[in-house]
Amino acid sequence: MSALLSPIKDIHSERRLFIARVVLSIVVSLLLMGTVVARLVQLQVVDHELFAEKSQGNRVRIEPVPPIRGLVFDRKGRVIAQNIPAYQLELIPEQVSDIDDTLNRLAAINLIEFEEIERFKELSRSGPRFKPVTLKFRLSDEEIANFAIQRPRFPGVDFRPRLVRHYPSGTSVAHAVGYVGALSTNDLQRLDSAAYAGTSHTGKTGVESSYESDLHGDAGYRHLVANARGRRVPSGTSELLDTLPDDLTPAPGENVYLSIDLDLQMIATKALEGRRGALVAIDPWTGEILALVSAPSFDPNLFAAGMSTQQYRELRDNPDRPLFNRAVRGTYPPGSTIKPMLALAALETGATNLTRKTLCRGYFQLPGDDHRYRDWKPEGHGPVDLHDAIAQSCDVYFYEISRDVGIDAMHDYLDRFGLGTKTGIDLDSESSGLVPSKEWKRSAFRDRDDQRWYHGETVIASIGQGYMLASPLQLASAAAALATRGQRYRPHIVAAIENALTNESRIIAPERLPDVEISNEFYWSTVVGAMHDVMQGPRGTARAVGTGAPYEMAGKSGTAQVVSIAQDEEYDDAELEERQRDHALFISFAPYDNPRIAVALIVENGESGSGVAAPIARSIMDAYLGFGDDAS
């Protein structure tokens, strides 16, 4: 009965539980409130300066300012590479509702190429939508007018001014000066990203590449205030701009003065017009390059302004290889142009002397071998001495003395003139050429039989054929060494570098190379005198070119065979396909007694060094010495 009378609820217990819960809630709330207050105090009082700085950093954006690229001049101060204002076409993705349609309509009015559309779409997706995407680096006046009329049809697309590289002389200087092109992934990996911040182009070839560090300059920066969406706040609308540090003005690139004579460069370009070949003219006493031409050439402005894929494909796939610098990178059999140098080697080694005569019957045979090594003159030259062999370019004479000289001595003496090794010119991608030796052949071939050096290989090497290869630049340097009677200077194309702000210049001094040491000075007179008679002697191979000139000159022609001809087979160059005909080479210098210019050139498949290459060399020397048609 007592259990039935117990209370249904324990009011006091419930009250105590409720009070405990309230107290616990108050304590927890106070702890949480204290934590929030403490955090607010830390953020707004203790760490105020830190977060204020970070906040301002989020609003302030540092934008790089690219430097103005240095100019390039010729030796007389005429502009070869400059910067000109132009307009580029830009698209802002966030302002374009349908990018596909916009790009297709721009292509339909010939402002961009259809095949470039996918690339532009990818660029528009890869960055912030408010960042402009450049569609074309340089618009012509016609394109600007065309777009200006239709601008309302293309919201989010506009053009803005910028500086672009321009080469007034175009194709004439392309291989010497080179060109600038848009930065590639490889460029970004090898270049300093900070120095190239904001820069869109870099030197790709020629002087633009090898003197990139001088021409580029130093990037600057400026402070911009951005809103919450990352867009730039116009100047004058934010007081924060007044509190920012000073901007850093970019330092312009240095100006580069070349040793090239632009007039000579133009004359050489015109002389090689319609041909494949190369020409290098050099000052024998300084190594300064006076002209450097490779033909055919290309317009470097196409790369600076941005060319279409189709335009680049046409240049790249052209069988005449206009992008290939034949003057520096091309290597060819030097032919008979090496005979003066080989003559000095023969005199020095005792393989011949000044009185020795050889009966040239039009061919030569090694003892015990019925193979005939033919002379260029089928009926032969008759009795010839060393002087006649050079002046008349008698192959048989050099075939015969080559046995006594030997390939290793031949290698050593030609090496003294710089053949078979890079000259060290201040241009990139120079080829080394090749002057063979027994050691070279042992290392170049795997098969034991192929490693052996044969007497017949020495014979054909004596007229610059076989394995022997040289660049036009190397031949010009060798011709300069003949002109100075053995004094050599490293070829260089840049004469001075000028600070664009102070106008202070540093001159590139001539760099002396080891002389060609010849024991008897009279040997020089004999060999160089024979070269004089090549052009102005009664029986010289190029007398038709040199006779009647208002100054004395020296030279040596060469013909390099392109295709092999079977034993005793007669052939006429005119019967061969054009690209199978012999190359024509020529080296020369003038004036004879006081040389001021040395020239070397090759005309691919030109057939005759004396008939085709020599007149071009003569025109270059005439122009430089003041006897050309345009001389004042």
User: Catalytic site residues?
Assistant: 336
Neighbours of 150 (CB within 10 A): 13
Contacts of 456 (CB under 8 A, 6+ apart): 366, 369, 371, 373
For residues 256 and 72, the answer to whether their CB atoms sit within 8 Å is yes
Question: Whole-angstrom Cα distance, residue 93 to residue 100?
Answer: 11
- Going by C-alpha positions, the residue among 61, 90, 65, 70 that lies closest to residue 196 is 65
Q: Are 368 and 402 in contact (CB under 8 A)?
A: no
Residue linked to tokens 């078979």:
420
Residue 557, strand partner residues: 586
Name residue 21's amino acid: R
Contact call for residues 499 and 254 (beta carbons, < 8 A): yes
Strands 255-258 and 72-73: parallel
The type of residue at 41 is V
Spatial separation of the C-alpha atoms in residues 294 and 281, rounded to whole Å: 12
Give Rg (Cα) of the chain. 37
Q: What is the DSSP letter of 248?
A: B
The 10 Å Cβ neighbour count of residue 4 is 5
CA 129 to chain centre: 37
The beta strands (E) that lie in 274-394 are given as 277-282, 289-295, 358-360, 363-364, 373-374, 382-384
Give the Cβ contact number of residue 393 at 10 Å.
28
Task: Give burial (CB, 10 Å; 0-12/13-18/19+) of 364.
Answer: buried
What are the structure tokens assigned to 192, written together?
């300093």
Backbone angles phi, psi at 496, to 5 degrees: -160, 155
Per residue in 84-104, is it b (16+ CB within 10 Å) or e — as a string?
eebbbbbbbbeebeebeebbe
Return the closest-CA partner of residue 117 out of 104, 133, 132.
104
Contact 469, 331 (CB under 8 A): yes
Rounded CA separation 279/295 (Å): 9
The total of other beta-carbon atoms located within 10 Å of residue 606's CB is: 24
Alpha-carbon span 236 to 234, nearest angstrom: 6
Tell me the C-alpha distance between 330 and 322, whole Å. 12
Q: Which residues have a Cβ under 8 Å from the Cβ of 309 and sit 6 or more positions away?
A: 113, 115, 116
Residue with tokens 């190397």: 474
